[in-house]
Chains A and B, each alone.
Chain A
Amino acid sequence: MTEPQLCEISVPGRRGIRFPKPDVPLTPLPESFIRKELPMPEMAEVDVIRHFTRLSQLNYCIDTGLYPLGSCTMKYNPKINEETSRLAGFANIHPLQPIETVQGALALMYELQEWLKEIGGFSGVTLQPAAGAHGEMTGTLIIKAYHHSRGDLQRDKILVPDSAHGTNPATSAMIGMRVVEIKSDARGNVDLEALKAECDQTLAGLMLTNPNTLGLFDENVEQVVELVHQAGGLVYGDGANLNALLGIARPGDLGIDVMHFNLHKTFSTPHGGGGPGSGPVGVASHLVDFLPAPIIGVIEEGDDETPPLYGFVTPKHSIGRVKSFYGHFGMFVRALTYMLMHGAEGLRQISENAVLNANYLLSRLKAFYKLPYDRICMHEFVLEGRWDDAPEIHALDIAKRLMDYGFHPPTNYFPLIVHEALMIEPTETESKQTLDDFADALIKIKEEAHTNPEILKTAPHNTPVRRLDEVKAAKELVLCCGVAPETE
């Protein structure tokens, strides 16, 4: 059953929400500015609720099952977060209110900055970036500003390991840096020789994801950082994989100069079907003056009787603002709620259990799927989704078949350095039983790949729709309801 589109449900004259009649005298409308048509749908509230509720039922989500997307950290999103972020005292405050009227919000943001500094081992934090990639842009702009402030104008090269997320090279290019890829060595670490060869006067920095997208903690991380620093470069940490490191190691202690946090991965704020995220950036002491403006600071110290006055502060050499206002406040409330419920010990348990779950799942699967780097993994691991004796089967087929078993597939075809990659991150919120069921499904699929490959090639079979024609979508480009197809 296909759900109709809004323009197909719309019935002329139907109304959803109505507003009160004007309680003030009317003013003539500015006729030359008035639109003639307002082609919006016309629906009753019940039409709207049924339409979107039916759509929701076509989705797979964490609330219904395991969502093992590698480097996405699809952990359970605690329900209390949805309560706290909607408290009237948070939801109904305007960002431009006088600071005296929003001391609670500012104190909360200050507190979150302090938690992130302590967790990451940093001297300063900005909460402004809206998402991970936005944090990367902020962080690399800070690196650029740092070099420029020292007259190092020639430093325009950013090194990106071949295992990095696509956002790393895209971000570097977006701010006008040259991107040079560094290969990985046989153990999945940054290749030190390849790194040395690029450590020269033009080096601005290295973007390092650690643990990397193979789920491996770089065994030479201290040497990597030292090589970059010796050459005058800075090290950017991609915090996408921080779920492996809470209370395990602080990136700042390892020498990382600047890193973004993904509140929507590590700190349980929901992914929302693609966003909103939140990507605060932490920096070491030599970079605090370059943070985006504004950050939250104490404007007047408090004493025993009066609390401190919180307000906005502009760092001395700030790169400027990266978006409107101060960041995704609603996500800050959720993340701090989550942090408060964990404390130091609880945060460490998050990472311990995330790494335990990944290694347990790996131990169940490695006899059945090829493991390109056979090491203890961190919070995720990468398998090859192919077998020499089942040549027609690809990672995509395995992914699609998993849906028939009721699971969301892992990330596939990433990282690019593994053939037919299946990148699996179970997170700490999955039980042993769920992991066993998932492993059983993957093992069964391997058997099917050899005995009944057709069932994989034609999968999924039990989903609301089956494999979709992506070529047709790109060729005909139907991007709006009720608009005739435009062909290339």
Chain B
Amino acid sequence: MFSPHTPTEKEEMLRAIGVQSIEDLFQDVPKAHRFPSLKLPPPLMEMEALAEMQNFADGNETCRDLISFLGAGAYHHYIPAAVDAIIRRGEFYTAYTPYQPEISQGTLQAIFEYQSLIAALTGMEVCNASHYDGATAVAEAVNMAVAHFRGKRTGIVISPSLNPQYTETVQTYTRNSTLALTGFELDPFSSPDSLLPLINTNTALVIVQYPDFLGRLFDYRKLIEAAHQSGALVCVAINPIALGLLTPPGEFGADIVTGEGQPLGIPLSFGGPYLGLFATKLEFVRKMAGRLVGETVDIDGRRGYVLTLTAREQHIRREKATSNICTNQGLMALASAVYLSLLGRQGLRELAELCYHKAHYTMQRITELPGFTLKDPQPFFNEFVIHCPTSAETINAHLLEHGILGGLALSQAYPNRPGMENLLMIAVTEMNSRDDIEALASALAEVSHD
């Protein structure tokens, strides 16, 4: 389909090789299994394939068709047109990993800019060229902490209000290992103080989220101090938009900052591809996984960029590498760098405040309704949990009839935990107009009157 050969050219090439037919090139393949007949449909032309994909797309109701208050790890934000204009450049998206720096300076400098922006946003000293997503970035933080202690510490304390999907991913990554994961089974609404008794001199890493999965803001200074006193490292998983407003974890002592980078100009796209943020202190850089770009000069003294500290990586170190990661989220990292450049110092703060104010107004409107209360009085950024007069799933079904995606019924996030039935988690972004918020409140009022 995309091969340019004419039949004549193919004949010339076969002759040059010295074989009669294409089939002669496959003599090493066991005959019994050679050229299987695949039960697949005939090919479509481009216009037919587009129509077919449009059919699939038409089978979905989008966050634009509906009013959406869904968050829980993926957020509906406005993506400036300039972001896609850059990542759609073939020079970026059809390039490979920049292993040949002389002809890959565009990708290399873009990653360098990304590293700089994320380090500044999180208040950390170094940032790698990305992990797959927010969940795998946390799993890699566990790997790094274990490597830092050379396996001598085996305790991983996980906040119960860490995104449950992140916890599950860490559990999968550490299956059958000697690590002991604790904390995650506590009540998700408990405060960070509940983790203190779990921290000891065997603890390698303490993992918290900021804002946490339930949207809440906590001052983690005391917890971090306790962890450091026991010699443990601390990982803080963040929402990057929130850091437009909030004190960065680097300022309150985090050793590792991870995050889901999707809110930074990356479409929801049903869950991926997203972007795993990973930043840390310079002292841990040799234990960090993932690619890293460093500034240098060429033989003529011109500034340039190369992949550096590659001796950590699988293609050099094989089984002794810090991680098996190879392909990362390069193009998504570029999208986030363009996004942050466009918003800049004032725009990011403006956006974060907008989300904050809209979320708080939404909370206020909902809790004015009889039977609806805020589950936890802790400060929050743009996401919060409402205790509803009936099951959250019932409420979501009702809202959907009004064209509203209500939020996450927490019974879905914590299927085995009692007491979650009536809890609904709502996220609000700049995409939600006041009319949307009033529509939500009116639809909920019908439930409270039932």
Contact = CB atoms under 8 A, between A and B. Distances in A.
17 contacts: A6-B341, A10-B344, A14-B344, A18-B350, A35-B247, A103-B59, A108-B53, A218-B28, A249-B35, A328-B272, A337-B49, A348-B38, A375-B28, A460-B103, A474-B309, A479-B115, A479-B126
**Most B-side CB within 10 Å, residue of A78, A254, A347, A356:** A356
Contact of B260 (A93, A324, A409): A324
B271 A326 contact: yes
Given A40-B120, A264-B327, A472-B297, A22 B354 contact: yes
A254 to B, nearest CB: 6
Contacts of A119: 38, 40
A83 B298 CA distance: 39
Contact of A59 (B92, B163, B400): B92
A17 B430 CA distance: 13
A198 to B, nearest CB: 15
Interface in A384-416: 399-400, 403, 408-409, 414
**Most B-side CB within 10 Å, residue of A3, A86, A323, A347:** A323
Contacts of A217: 26, 28-29
Contacts of B300: 465-466
Contacts of A268: 2
Interface of A is mostly: loop
A167 B16 contact: no
B235 interface: no
A467 B320 CA distance: 28
Nearest to A9: B341
Interface residues of B, number: 207
Interface in B43-102: 43-46, 48-50, 52-64, 66, 68, 70, 72-74, 76, 78, 80, 82, 84-86, 88-102
Contacts of B62: 88-89, 91-93
A346 B46 CA distance: 13
Interface stretch (B165-173, B198-206, B366-374): B165-173
Contacts of A76: 2
B103 A27 contact: no
A48 B134 contact: no
B169 A324 contact: yes
A327 B272 contact: yes
A422 to B, nearest CB: 13
**Most A-side CB within 10 Å, residue of B42, B308, B379:** B308
B180 interface: no
B405 interface: yes
A48 B334 CA distance: 12
Contact of A87 (B54, B84, B430): B54
A170 B360 contact: no
B299 A95 contact: no
A262 B133 CA distance: 18
Closest 7 CB pairs of A and B: A104-B59, A89-B57, A325-B271, A272-B331, A274-B330, A95-B271, A63-B90
B225 interface: no
B17 to A, nearest CB: 5
Interface string A327-359: 111110100110111111111111011011101
Given A59-B105, A477-B294, A219 B96 contact: no
Contact of A60 (B14, B104, B348, B433): B104
Interface residues of A, number: 206
Contacts of B442: none
Interface stretch (A66-74, A280-288, A298-306, A441-449): A66-74
Contacts of B104: 58-60, 273
Given A49-B82, A343-B44, A355-B25, A93 B269 contact: yes
B58 A273 contact: no
A7 interface: yes
Contact of A273 (B2, B54, B95, B430): B95
A176 B29 contact: no
B60 A273 contact: no
Contacts of B3: 349-350, 353, 428-429
Contact of B97 (A19, A48, A273, A356): A273
